[in-house]
Amino acid sequence: MLFFLKKNYLVVILFLMMILDHILTYIGISLDIISEGNKLICWLFDLPFLYSLIVRAFLCGLTLTPFIFYAKFYKDKCRRILIFLNTFYSLIFVLHLRWIMA
């Protein structure tokens, strides 16, 4: 397990960021502070929290699984894409901090 985490640390970080984004978004929507910007998954926030978190974790895992398998063949390209995605999610957290601190 530790070898998997070390080898795929960018995927693990991105997965954790996606889950944290879901948790913060769910809290913001529940408090009527924000609304979901992604219209493809706005239905997810109509579910109870635990169910939506499980579905989101499944969708995140499904989305990130190809990076684990393709990294063997396209290591450099996968790494660049994952760095871009991690940067993108970092910017999303700046938006979350904005409404948390407001």
The per-residue pLDDT for range 54-68, each reduced to its tens digit, is: 999 999 999 999 888
Question: Which domain range does residue 10 map to?
Answer: 2-101
Reply yes or no on whether the pLDDT at 4 is more than 90.
no
Reply yes or no on whether the pLDDT at 3 is more than 70.
no
Q: What is the pLDDT of residues 78-101, one digit of tens each?
A: 889 999 999 998 998 888 888 888
Range 21-26 average pLDDT: 92
Q: Which residues of 19-44 are buried (b: 16+ CB within 10 A; e: fewer)?
A: eebbebbbebbeeeebeeeeeeeeeb
- What's the number of domains the chain is made of? 1
